[in-house]
Structure 1
Amino acid sequence: MPYIASIGTYLPCWGTPDARIAGDDEDAVTLAVEAGRAALEAGGSVEYVVLVGRDLPLTESSNAAVLLAGLGLDPELEVIERLGGAPATLDALGSARPRTLVIGVDLNSAGAAAALTSDHGLQVRTAARVSRSLPVRTRNASGDIHDYGDPRLLRKRGYLASLATAWVDTPAVVAGVPAQHAASLAATQTTDLPTTGASSALFALAAMAEAGLTGPLVGVEQASLSGLTVAEGTAEVRRRERPARPVLDSAQTLPGEIPISLAAYERAFEAKVRWEGGRFLDSDQVDFPPRYRVDEDGSLDTEYTFVELPRTGTVYTEVTVHVPVPGLRTPYSLVVVDLDGVGVRALVRVTGTAAGSVDIGDRGRLVLRRIAVRSGVPDYGYAFEPDSDPVDEEEAA
């Protein structure tokens, strides 16, 4: 019977209040990292990671390493992927051992949420599990999706029939279905969930934790259903959900791409994705990127240690690039960020706002993003997300 210590949520800033869209530099991994880091802000150790989604990266490539590095976790931890929607997430949560980070991520509509289990906190227990065959939406071996496209059949013979079969009390909250249907099925559902996929169950759990609600939480997908009973206890909820705004459409991209050097990718991976600098034992100076030094006697000193860099800072200088670059949407802004408290300045791209809208002196945080796709390989690094958007400030004025 797991307990939930903390819950973190993340929504991309692009899209509408009803449906968010992942940015050009976001994917399932970066969304999962944002939600996971929000959940981990409250503290607590992690021994297992479970990633649930309908469209997942494959762990046999570098994505599991990127996920663990972005979360700042031990690279030897096991990452388990589960393909599915809200029921799969509730199944993972109901069977999770303490110190398990369960992350649900969706790309349509986009959003991610994470829950960290513990020995204390908000108590949940498995209440129902129904597996029925109604293949409204299928995926073949090559990944092609076929949608039968009959919402009335899905409602009548799908989740309504599964709810009747489950013999659970009237759900307090229902995840995995459109808002208008959830409201008619749930007893206390007063807010719309931003997603209907794997993350919707954790968004629903966060809403229940904030409101102090107890009772059945049900997740449905086609004709499958899972339910948890949310009992007494508290869980800390951290949300990273900026207001929605329209997607920018002024962009151009040159054909072709800049090829990747896997040797350079491997050398830079730890420092770049974990966001770490190098420091020698006899010095307080932090170098980024980490590098060797030549001592006074002419010998090469390679014995530096990695230290975590701050993820907040101030723009020292900025520039906006208007010349198209192969594989990158143009224009885009670059900034040199003065990281807080370490005397390190880092050159990074700007994310989450229009090009040219960031000024010297603006505050913000460093966030993991997919900075490029080179030779078919996603290349991850950090970008600067300003604390406030000039567009939002103008609208408020």
Structure 2
Amino acid sequence: MSGSRALAAVGTYLPPWGDGRGRTTGPDEDAVTLAVAAGRAALGEAGPQVRAVVFVTRELPLLVGGNAAALLAGIGLPDDVPVTEQVGGAPAVLDALAGAAPGTLVVAADAQAGAPAGAAAALVGDTGVPIELVDRVVRSLPVQSRVDGGPARDYADPRLQRERGLGPAVEALELSDKPVAVAGLAAKQAAALSVGQAPRLPTLGASAALFALAGLEQVGTGGLVLAVEQASATAIRIGGVPAVRRDEPAVRAPQRTVDNPGPEIAISLAAYERAFDAKLRWEAGRCDACGTLAMPPRFRCLGCGSEAGWSSAPLPRTGAVYTGVTVHVPVPGLPTPYSLAIVELDGVDVRALVKVTGVPAGTTEIGDRGRLVLRRVAVRSGIPDYGYALFPDPRPADAGQREGAAR
């Protein structure tokens, strides 16, 4: 066994779209936006000091150049925090967690088309519930594969997977007791390996390992947690129930949109670089001469006309709709219809033009409140372009209707 670590907090995020089979990403979500939402949930409002980030997924959006800058900016971490991007599944996440130093944020996201989507994050700290690596086994049985980011290929042999993959992997671990939670398997298979009532997990990929830790809330105790992927497995022991913060909005049926063919809008890397920090960190420019805020930052202050310079000022992430419009005209590269809103931010004299996300187009009204969340606003020249969108708060009537439908 390795030396123990402490699990300070776990954060989870589920997209609002989905059905009884699981959640699915919206047209403006990818692994990075999912990871940002989970990371912010894990850190909470206080935002404890993070010394390193490990990002595990099988759907890295930007391979050349990496996703570290967007991930750090979206979570709100300094740009000197080291980020490790790792391709892997549930066992790799538990491996990263068990070997992490205090101050490490381990984030995992699943955004593969056709599979349940979600993300979770865990903060390793000096205090919290102890975690300890029990054992791991790494074997090869590639029943699923993807080449060069293409579609998944599934060998689809459950018996082979059970008898030559899952079974030998678990036997090789030589566990002294049964796990209380199992990640990476369907609910029925997980229940067969678990003791008691194992928590049902919303994903099967990398994030399932951290959803299993969050699921200990349902179990009410710590214990052995097992993560399996094909023929590899990792087991860790949790010394209690961790603190869990969830960002899991009520599920909605996916909106029907139309993808419009046509020439895409090419990216301007000069404009992309100039606006990156302000746009992804959600910061305005504060005039050094008079203090007037501008979003985006301007070279010349509209308040006093000064060109002396400006400083960054974090903006509130909540506000109310001042006015809005829904676009039905086909726009190449953008799924339509979609809604835009001018949001009056709380506590500052700033209004921001943003897209509306998480609800069907045309349902947001003047005065509706919501929060600003990171989304992929476009893909230009193959490069994900991130910005902020308004996620409206649920109306009481809508919440009641969805609760009744769930029953």
TM-score scaled by structure 2? 0.92
For residue 158 of structure 1, the aligned residue among 162, 165, 172 is 165
Pick closer, same or farther for the CA change 1:138–1:355 going to 2, 3 Å. closer
Which residue of structure 1 lines up, in the alignment, with residue 132 of structure 2? 125
TM-superposed CA distance for 1:286, in Å, is 1.9
Which residue of structure 2 lines up, in the alignment, with residue 8 of structure 1? 11
For residue 270 of structure 1, what is the amino acid of its counterpart? Answer: D
For residue 229 of structure 2, the aligned residue among 201, 217, 221 is 221
TM-superposed CA distance for 1:211, in Å, is 4.3
TM-superposed CA distance for 1:95, in Å, is 0.2
Pick closer, same or farther for the CA change 1:142–1:360 going to 2, 3 Å. closer
Q: Which moved more, 1:241-250 or 1:286-295?
A: 286-295
TM-superposed CA distance for 1:295, in Å, is 9.8
Residue 106 (str. 1) matches residue 113 (str. 2): no
Pick closer, same or farther for the CA change 1:175–1:77 going to 2, 3 Å. same
Superposed CA deviations along residues 305-363 of structure 1, whole A, max 9, x for unmatched, are 11111111111111111111111111111100011101110000000111110001111
Aligned to 2:354, the other structure's residue is in SS state: strand
For residue 368 of structure 1, what is the amino acid of its counterpart? Answer: L
TM-superposed CA distance for 1:160, in Å, is 1.9
Residue 363 (str. 1) matches residue 369 (str. 2): yes
Which residue of structure 1 lines up, in the alignment, with residue 186 of structure 2? 178
Aligned to 2:215, the other structure's residue is in SS state: helix
**Residue pair 1:154, 1:222 contacting (<8 A) in 2 also:** yes
Q: Distance in 1 between matches of 2:52 and 2:363?
A: 40
TM-superposed CA distance for 1:14, in Å, is 0.8
Identity of aligned residues (%): 53
Extract unaligned runs of 5+ from structure 2. none
Which residue of structure 1 lines up, in the alignment, with residue 352 of structure 2? 346
Q: Distance in 1 between matches of 2:318 and 2:271?
A: 26
TM-superposed CA distance for 1:280, in Å, is 2.8
Map of 1:46-125 to 2, 5 A cutoff?
46-58=50-62, 60-61=64-65, 63-107=67-111, 108-125=115-132
Q: Distance in 1 between matches of 2:254 and 2:85?
A: 30
TM-superposed CA distance for 1:245, in Å, is 1.9
Q: Distance in 1 between matches of 2:122 and 2:14?
A: 15
Extract unaligned runs of 5+ from structure 1. none
For residue 14 of structure 1, what is the amino acid of its counterpart? Answer: W
Q: How many residues align?
A: 395
Q: Distance in 2 between matches of 1:328 and 1:201?
A: 34
Pick closer, same or farther for the CA change 1:298–1:73 going to 2, 3 Å. closer
Q: Distance in 1 between matches of 2:291 and 2:232?
A: 56
TM-score scaled by structure 1? 0.94
Q: CA RMSD, aligned part only?
A: 2.1
**Residue pair 2:103, 2:125 contacting (<8 A) in 1 also:** yes
Q: Distance in 2 between matches of 1:261 and 1:295?
A: 25
Pick closer, same or farther for the CA change 1:321–1:230 going to 2, 3 Å. same
